[in-house]
């Protein structure tokens, strides 16, 4: 049996959201709830929507309808609702003085919105957009960093029954234009810029350049952050002041449960980005349930996830937190600037109770040591979260024991943009082992298949889902065949996600990386995380990435790229040591063919290593869409690695 790193306090389990839901259903054991939720997802999601109080102005007639086939399943059929009703309107009525949004700028500025104030701002922006001709079904780009106005923007667009497009705040003009054009956007909400590492990062010129390529955009609403915004004479540009424009209350549009809410684009290795379509009913219920049951979020909690709005975790944290009547915390800037303790100071100053972060970012913060963490009072924390990529054990334990003080569960989740949420997750009523994903999230019929489509245990296989779920993308925008080909064509009525996963003998689940990241040497599969874990355990290595490159005999050869820590020198002796470290950990079959020293690894702003870009740089091929990279120069560092 694998040793548990955290166990729930039996005295508090009954007070968790999951515990209260189980009591309401007359279910004594979590495993029984999980089994029933997977066997009968329609039952579970209907009961979850009721338990969480998700408002349907017109009651739905059927929870799940698969009459058009499993890939085209619909949820809460016949019902009418709106994300803004669930996340704003009901709390304006029930708890107007409760905090909804809490934001800190890199310059130390703090802004807080109550639910009543959030409602007024949402009405003001909704009125502005309505007066500019935005209405039911119109697409609106949101090219904003994580500001209070970002929350207002998402809710105002949803309130009108329009469709918002989250756009990564670091995109260039071409990447923005492709997304706006694909969706036929009529408006763009953007900031003039934001602060990062003491420097204003401009956005407005990029927005104008993008919009110049898109004929459909008629309005640009600019949020001033770093300076005064110059009004344009063409009448297309208007400024969103803060406090926002005063307006009479704007009626929230009651839309069909399946009405599009947002189009979340994912970067592709080739071709144009995929637009995942999420809807008001299913997305709201699924995200609200996850944040309630997996992270035990409730009124009075303050949730912060280190994310950009253009990554699915940005909308996730906003929707999930507000749908549960809690406070969403937002952060501008880098986690270690102006001092290495910036992130931990933020958590202390704002008494954050639920923290989400990526494993890569934890590794980067670990390099600064314990003192930046332990010098701050983080006793308000009660839940830790992570997603984005597989863990390795040393940073996981540091996160759990130093950041969480050993008292907080690490709710390590895995899903995706197209999933709209999570496939896998622990719950705060379960004992956890290090690095585990727990198992299936509630209501999610996930499994691991071998190449023949058979369930496997104790070996790596394809992560799949065999039943529909409410947060599932409703196809890909204007590309139904691409949707079927990408997720459903391998096995009938089975979603193939593109992740390698492992279920061990204790029933614990672990990810081994993306299918397209997995390395296959002489017929043996190897997850990059296994190699990287071995490398970063060496005291000279700060970060590492492992890739497979073509090899005429083995099929693929293992290449490793490492970023050294302070004071370490890239010597041939160290290179040989690192080859030996991997070989000793994984066996002679997986001896690296190359260990290369680089000064940086290409990452997204959410600190996710983009291994396909490293592979492309290594073999001299097209890296595909790299618009989400925080620092494109990191690819040059990889190309020049020695």
Residues 142-170 have pLDDT tens digits of 999 999 999 999 999 999 999 999 998 98
**Dist CA 151 CA 130 (whole Å):** 18
SS3 sequence, 303-337? EEECCCCCCCHHHHHHHHHHHCCCEEEEECCCCCC
Other Cβ atoms less than 10 A from the Cβ of 353: the count is 23
Tell whether the model's pLDDT for residue 525 goes beyond 80: no
pLDDT at 284: 98
pLDDT at 267: 65
pLDDT confidence band for 605 (50 / 70 / 90): low
Enumerate residues 6+ apart whose C-beta is below 8 A from 87: 155, 284, 318, 319, 322, 323
Sign, CA torsion 106/125/328/415: negative
pLDDT confidence band for 1 (50 / 70 / 90): low
pLDDT at 293: 98
Beta strands per DSSP E along 235-380:
237-239, 255-256, 260-266, 274-279, 302-305, 327-331, 354-357
Q: Read off the pLDDT of residues 43-59 as tens digits, 9 standing for 90 and up.
A: 999 999 999 999 999 99
Q: Which residue in this structure is represented by tokens 């040497």?
A: 521
pLDDT at 245: 61
| Per-position b or e across 485-506, b if 16+ CB within 10 A of its CB | ebbbeeeeebbbbbbbbbbeee
Which tokens hold the place of 214?
């898109």
pLDDT at 270: 45
Q: Read off the pLDDT of residues 547-592 as tens digits, 9 standing for 90 and up.
A: 999 887 778 899 999 999 989 999 999 999 999 999 888 888 889 9
Tell whether the model's pLDDT for residue 518 goes beyond 90: no
> Nearest Cα to 470, choosing from 298, 275, 261, 321?
261
Tell whether the model's pLDDT for residue 60 goes beyond 60: yes
Q: Read off the pLDDT of residues 221-246 as tens digits, 9 standing for 90 and up.
A: 999 999 866 655 466 888 887 766 66
406 CB-contact burial (10 Å; exposed 0-12 / middle 13-18 / buried 19+)? exposed
What ranges in 70-196 are assigned the alpha helix state H? 83-84, 90-94, 115-131, 148-159, 173-183
Tell whether the model's pLDDT for residue 469 goes beyond 90: yes
**Dist CA 593 CA 583 (whole Å):** 11
Yes or no: say if 568 and 510 are a contact pair by the CB < 8 Å rule.
no
Enumerate residues 6+ apart whose C-beta is below 8 A from 244: 120, 121, 124, 125, 152
Tell whether the model's pLDDT for residue 526 goes beyond 80: no
Q: Which residue in this structure is represented by tokens 């420097």?
A: 199
As a whole number, the mean pLDDT across the chain is 92
pLDDT at 527: 73
Yes or no: say if 487 and 497 are a contact pair by the CB < 8 Å rule.
yes
The full DSSP string for 35-50 is HHHHH-HHHHHHHHHH
Other Cβ atoms less than 10 A from the Cβ of 401: the count is 15
Tell whether the model's pLDDT for residue 269 goes beyond 50: no
Name the percent of the chain lying above pLDDT 70.
96
The full DSSP string for 138-166 is -EEEEE--S-HHHHHHHHHHHHTT-EEEE
Angstrom CA distances, 553 to 492, 521, 522, stand at: 35, 9, 8
Q: Any idea where the domains of the chain sit in the sequence?
A: 516-639
pLDDT winner (highest mean) among 288-292, 362-366, 543-547, 581-585: 288-292
Yes or no: say if 299 and 328 are a contact pair by the CB < 8 Å rule.
no
DSSP 420: T
Name the percent of the chain lying above pLDDT 90.
75
Tell whether the model's pLDDT for residue 428 goes beyond 90: yes
Q: Read off the pLDDT of residues 170-229 as tens digits, 9 standing for 90 and up.
A: 888 888 999 999 999 999 999 999 999 999 999 999 999 999 999 999 999 999 999 866
143 strand-pairing partners = 190
More confident residue, 235 or 29: 29
pLDDT at 157: 98
Domain topology for 516-639: GMP Synthetase; Chain A, domain 3 (3.30.300)
Instruction: Indicate the pTM of the whole model.
Output: 0.87
Yes or no: say if 368 and 616 are a contact pair by the CB < 8 Å rule.
no
């Amino acid at each position: 049996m694998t040793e548990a790193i955290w166990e729930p306090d039996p005295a508090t389990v009954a007070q968790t959201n999951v515990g209260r839901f189980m009591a309401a259903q007359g279910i004594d054991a979590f495993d029984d709830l999980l089994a029933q939720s997977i066997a009968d997802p329609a039952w579970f999601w209907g009961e979850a929507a009721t338990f969480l109080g998700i408002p349907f102005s017109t009651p739905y007639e059927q929870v799940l309808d698969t009459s058009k086939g499993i890939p085209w399943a619909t949820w809460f059929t016949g019902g009418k609702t709106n994300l803004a009703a669930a996340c704003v309107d009901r709390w304006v009525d029930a708890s107007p003085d409760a905090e909804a949004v809490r934001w800190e700028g890199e310059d130390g500025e703090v802004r807080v919105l109550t639910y009543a104030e959030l409602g007024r701002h949402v009405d003001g922006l909704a009125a502005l957009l309505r007066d500019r001709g935005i209405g039911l079904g119109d697409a609106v780009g949101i090219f904003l960093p994580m500001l209070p106005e970002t929350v207002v923007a998402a809710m105002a667009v949803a309130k009108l029954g329009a469709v918002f497009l989250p756009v990564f705040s670091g995109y260039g003009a071409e990447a923005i234009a492709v997304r706006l054009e694909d969706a036929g956007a009529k408006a763009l909400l953007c900031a003039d810029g934001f602060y990062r590492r003491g420097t204003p990062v401009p956005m407005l010129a990029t927005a104008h350049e993008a919009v110049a390529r898109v004929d459909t955009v008629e309005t640009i609403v600019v949020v001033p952050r770093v300076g005064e915004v110059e009004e344009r004479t063409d009448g297309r540009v208007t400024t969103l002041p803060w406090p926002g424009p005063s307006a009479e209350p704007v009626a929230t549009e009651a839309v069909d449960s399946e009405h599009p809410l947002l189009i979340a684009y994912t970067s592709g290795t080739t071709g144009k980005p995929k637009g995942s379509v999420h809807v008001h009913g299913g997305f709201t219920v699924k995200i609200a349930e996850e944040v309630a049951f997996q992270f035990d979020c409730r009124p009075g909690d303050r949730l912060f996830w280190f994310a950009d709005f253009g990554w699915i975790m940005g909308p996730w944290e906003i929707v999930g937190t507000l749908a549960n009547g809690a406070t969403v915390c937002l952060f501008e800037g880098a986690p270690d600037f102006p001092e290495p303790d910036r992130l931990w100071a933020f958590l202390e100053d704002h008494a954050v109770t639920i923290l989400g972060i990526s494993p890569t970012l934890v590794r980067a913060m670990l390099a600064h040591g314990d003192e930046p963490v332990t010098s701050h009072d983080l006793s308000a924390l009660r839940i830790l979260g992570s997603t984005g990529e597989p863990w390795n054990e040393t940073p996981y334990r540091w996160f759990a024991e130093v950041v969480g003080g050993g008292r907080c569960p690490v709710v390590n989740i895995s899903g995706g943009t197209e999933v709209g949420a999570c496939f896998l997750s622990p719950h705060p009523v379960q004992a956890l082992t290090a690095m585990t994903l727990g198992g299936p999230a509630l209501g999610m019929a996930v499994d691991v298949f071998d190449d023949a489509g058979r369930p496997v245990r104790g070996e790596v296989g394809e992560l799949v889902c065999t039943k529909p779920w409410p947060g599932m993308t409703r196809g890909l925008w204007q590309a139904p065949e691409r949707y079927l080909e990408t997720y459903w064509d391998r096995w009938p009525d089975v979603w193939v996600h593109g992740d390698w996963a492992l279920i061990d003998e204790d029933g614990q689940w672990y990810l081994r990386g993306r299918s397209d990241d997995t390395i296959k040497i002489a017929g043996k599969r190897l997850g990059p995380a296994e190699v990287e874990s071995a490398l970063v355990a060496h005291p000279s290595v700060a970060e590492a990435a492992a890739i497979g490159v073509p090899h005429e005999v083995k099929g693929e050869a293992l290449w490793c790229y490492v970023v050294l820590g302070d004071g370490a020198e890239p010597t041939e002796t160290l290179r040989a040591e690192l080859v030996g470290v991997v070989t000793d950990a994984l066996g002679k079959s997986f001896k690296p063919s190359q260990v290369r020293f680089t000064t940086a690894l290409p990452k997204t702003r959410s600190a996710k290593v983009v291994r396909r870009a490293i592979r492309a740089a290594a073999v001299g091929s097209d890296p595909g869409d790299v618009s989400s990279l925080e620092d494109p120069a990191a690819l040059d560092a990889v190309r020049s690695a020695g």
